[in-house]
Amino acid sequence: MEDRLIVQKNFKYLLFGMIGIGVISMLFGFISDPERAWANYLLNNYYFISLSIGAAFFGAIQYISQSGWSSAFKRIPEAMASYIPVAGVFFLLMYFGMHSLFHWSHEGVTATDELLAHKAPYLNVPFFFFRIVLFFGLWTIMVRLLRKISLKEDEEGGMTYFYQSEKYSKVIIFIIAISFSLFAFDMLMSLEPHWFSALFAAKSFIAAFLHASTVITLIVIILNKIGHLKMLNRSHLHDFSRYIFMVSILWGYFNFAEFMLIWYGNIPEETIFFVKRSEGVFQVLFYANIIINWFIPFLFLMPRMTSRSKVYILPVIVILMIGQYTELYYYIWPAVVKGSKFGLLEIGTYLGFLGLFTLVVTNTLTKANLVPKNHPYLEESIYHQF
């Protein structure tokens, strides 16, 4: 099935315009309020890397579970994962903002702070960047490898590439499970180095998986709307929305489990996280996160009728994309900005990163046929029905 994506010139100009807005608002932010600008930088970087990692994980479990239905759409997770090296460069550039973001990176802080001195062998600037290089190196190598095998399968066919993909998918989920947990500790939890929660890693990973599933669905629906991926039917939509439904329940479960244990244990070191966030906007965001990320998808995608229709899924996707933003805002802002500022800087930065992410993803999508050609489950996927 020949199905190539051709990007319109106007669309590219729009994306460049968005990136321009992002660059301008970042520059403006660095001059006027560097801490807030770096917080924006971290939030958006983390937002889109978690989409990429979630997509890589999504693609991998399709291979491991040998799912038939999704094989025609596997180019979309692949394309989203191709953003990983770009994000890696951005995370390395965070070197210049370490002091604005991470309290533990200040000189001499270990002399007066016993806990930070205890954590110093792990939480120090050189090792921090060594971990970033290591994680992004591993992710990039694995994602590139899977992509290469997938493209070779298009040309040559046969079962060997399928088995290879399955084997490397098993490797990548182990790598992601360990490295993304540590990555979430580094990027979000170490913003407040005196607070700790073991569930935080699992929660961040589930959030990444949830929002990646929604964005995959969004891209599939958009591509279908503009005339590609013609085989998309209601059963595929039902399967995509079941992913969103299932992972949003899991998100709610992890989120609640973390909160409930901290609330019940009532240990000051742990409760400080929620005490800090129990005023003003953050109190609202605490409830808003639960409603946006769990309650709305849970209620709206439960009936068979709504979970098979684009009209109902699209608003849920948009709400969940906002939900990821509010969730990260809830983590980062009280720790870095120490207030709830939201304005043109936030919107501009988000637009900039969104433009860049879309540019990278569409660029990768144009490089190969949108439907894989010789995947052994392709037939099953095209005629998927239940």
Partner 1 sequence: MITNKKYLVGVFNDEHTLVDAFEKALQKGVVIQEVYTPYPIHEILTGMKTKTRITYAAFFYGLFGVIALIGGMYYAAVIDWPLHFGGKPFNSFPSFIVVTIVATILIITILTLFTFSARSKIYPGKKADIVDERATNDKFIIVLDQNNMGIEMPEVTQLFESNGASEVYQKEANSN
Q: Which residues sit at the interface with partner 1, rule CB under 8 A?
A: 256, 259-260, 263-264, 266, 302, 304, 385-386
List, in sequence order, every beta strand (DSSP E) within the chain: none
User: What is the H or E stretch that residue 187 is in?
Assistant: helix 160-187
Minimum Å gap between C-beta 378 and partner 1 is: 19
Measured from the CB atom, the residue of 197 and 224 that comes closer to partner 1 is 197
Residues 111/105, Cβ–Cβ less than 8 Å? no
* Nearest approach, Cβ of residue 323 and partner 1 (Å): 20
- Closer to partner 1 at the Cβ: 137 or 303? 303
Taking the C-alpha atoms of residue 44 and residue 48, their distance in angstroms, rounded to an integer, is: 6
Nearest residue (CB) to partner 1, 10 versus 386: 386
Could you tell me the maximum CA-CA distance found in the chain, to the nearest angstrom?
Answer: 65
Question: Of 121 and 268, which has the nearer Cβ to partner 1?
Answer: 268
Give least dist CB 273 to partner 1, A.
15
Rounded least distance, CB 290 to partner 1, Å: 11
Of residues 190 and 289, the one with the C-beta less far from partner 1: 289
Give the nearer residue to partner 1 in terms of CB position, either 111 or 305. Answer: 305
Task: Tell me which residue of 4, 6, 81, 78 sits closest to 369, measured CA to CA.
Answer: 4
CB of 287 to partner 1, least distance (A): 12
The DSSP output letter for 68 is S
Which stretches of 65-102 are DSSP H helices? 75-81, 84-93, 98-101
Q: Sign of torsion, CA 71 75 76 82?
A: positive
From the CB of 321, what's the least distance to partner 1, in Å? 27
Shortest separation between residue 176's beta carbon and partner 1, angstroms: 28
Minimal distance in Å, beta carbon 305 to partner 1? 11
Q: Does residue 296 contact residue 319 with C-beta atoms inside 8 Å?
A: yes
Given its phi and psi angles, is residue 309 left (phi above 0), alpha (psi -120 to 50 degrees) or beta? beta
Q: With respect to partner 1, which residue has the nearer C-beta, 219 or 290?
A: 290
Angle CA(99)–CA(103)–CA(106) in degrees, nearest 5? 55
Which C-beta is closer to partner 1: that of 95 or that of 256? Answer: 256
Beta carbon of residue 268, minimum distance to partner 1 (angstroms, whole number): 13
Cβ–Cβ < 8 Å for 349, 23: no
End-to-end CA, the chain: 23
Cα-based angle 105, 95, 52 (whole degrees, multiple of 5)? 110
Measured CA to CA, the distance from residue 352 to residue 334 in angstroms comes to 23
Q: Which of residues 174 and 256 has its CB atom nearest to partner 1 in the complex?
A: 256
d(CA 338, CA 328): 14
Contact 327, 221 (CB under 8 A): no
Residue 292 is classified by DSSP as I
